[in-house]
Amino acid sequence: MYHLGIDIGGTNLKFGLLNKRFELVEDNSIKMPKSLDLESIKNTLLDKIEKIVQKYKLSSVGIGVPGIIDNGGTIVESPNIPALNGFNFLEFLQSSIPQRIGYNIPIKLENDANIAAIAEMTIGSGVNYDNFIYITLGTGVGGAIILNRQLFRGNQGSAGEIGHMIFNPLAKPKKRAYRTGVLEEYLGKKAIISYAKRIAHKYPNSVLNKSQMFDIISISDYADKGDELAIACMEKIGFYLGITVISLANLLDINHFIVGGGISKSSDYFYNKAKEIANKRALPHLQGRIIIEKAKFSSKAGIIGSAIFGAIK
């Protein structure tokens, strides 16, 4: 019997199977339908699950989705997959999957950042922590709060939307008011690349500048090679992360932070600056106690966490 974990993204649909010891025995991914319309998504998902059960007997299914999910399983908003907005995805899955596979099993749905935090808590970097905050840095900024080794979901089920903390209240208003001046506009992938391009003229001798390879991997790699432009970028986003961390630490009295997502693999300049700022700006009882570490899982956090979440009673 195996636990199936599914990570639904705007580009790829990832699948992973864990055995009873939570060891990953198989994983793969397929492309999401280009149209990203609701019917295509549903059919693609169910067809793949049907193929999996031809080879494996499942005991549970857990699914992670980007976006805000209410306590009843309705997708309130999924920025990357708008076709899911307003759709009770959990109800659909719980009725459709058993019909396809021919037997009943537990089926759960959760926000993708929460899912990744569960992976870290259970078999990752958070194994020894009762309380920690998980921050995922990629295209956007997400998060999850673990209290007493339980996922804190809040009244509406959407706690941990760290990327939507108001970071600059004086920012130019956006069409969607809730996006005005939020952290994601400063610490997300697009913001980092935009910042690199904006300050590039200050570093005419930068190899990064001359190569014009303004992507997260290149910025991080060039920082490790001593490129001044790249280092400036890493330290800037490290500053933003440090401010975010200490704001959360001062509010919740939690001192352990785990950083996942694509940007989590960035240069030590990024982490060193974040730790410096967080501990410098901490309240006295937290000074020197702030711990910021990389997540154990990166690209496979979604499938591992989903499978574990589905298996939890």
Q: Please tell me the predicted confidence (pLDDT) of residue 206.
A: 94
Check: CB of residue 148 under 8 Å from CB of residue 130: yes
**In the beta sheet, which residues pair with residue 292?**
257
Per-residue DSSP letter, 310: H
User: In tens digits, what is the pLDDT along the chain, a chain of 313 residues?
Assistant: 899 999 998 888 999 999 999 999 999 999 998 888 999 999 999 999 999 999 999 999 999 998 899 999 999 988 789 999 999 999 999 999 999 999 999 999 999 999 999 999 999 999 999 999 999 998 889 999 999 999 999 998 889 999 999 999 998 888 888 889 999 999 988 889 999 999 999 999 999 988 888 888 899 999 999 999 999 999 999 999 999 999 999 999 999 999 998 888 888 999 999 999 999 999 999 999 999 999 999 889 999 999 999 998 7
Structure tokens at 48: 């793949």
List Cβ<8 Å contacts ≥24 apart for 31-38.
Answer: 32/8, 32/81, 36/10, 36/81, 36/82, 36/83, 37/83, 38/83, 38/84, 38/87
Asked whether the CA dihedral 260, 261, 262, 263 is positive or negative, the reply is negative
Residue 3 CA to residue 161 CA, distance in Å, equals 27
Contacts of 228 (CB under 8 A, 6+ apart): 203, 205, 206
pLDDT of residue 94: 96
Beta carbons within 8 Å of 288's beta carbon, 6+ residues apart? 279, 282
DSSP, res 182: B
pLDDT at 138: 84
pLDDT at position 183? 94
pTM: 0.91
Residue 301: predicted pLDDT: 93
3-state secondary structure of 276: helix
Question: Distance (Å, rounded) from C-alpha 51 to C-alpha 211?
Answer: 45
Predicted pLDDT at 231: 94
Sorted by sequence, the CB contacts under 8 Å of residue 100 that are 6+ apart come out as 46, 49, 50, 53
Residue 172's CB is within 10 A of a number of other CB atoms, namely 7
Residue 24 forms beta bridges with which residues?
A: 18
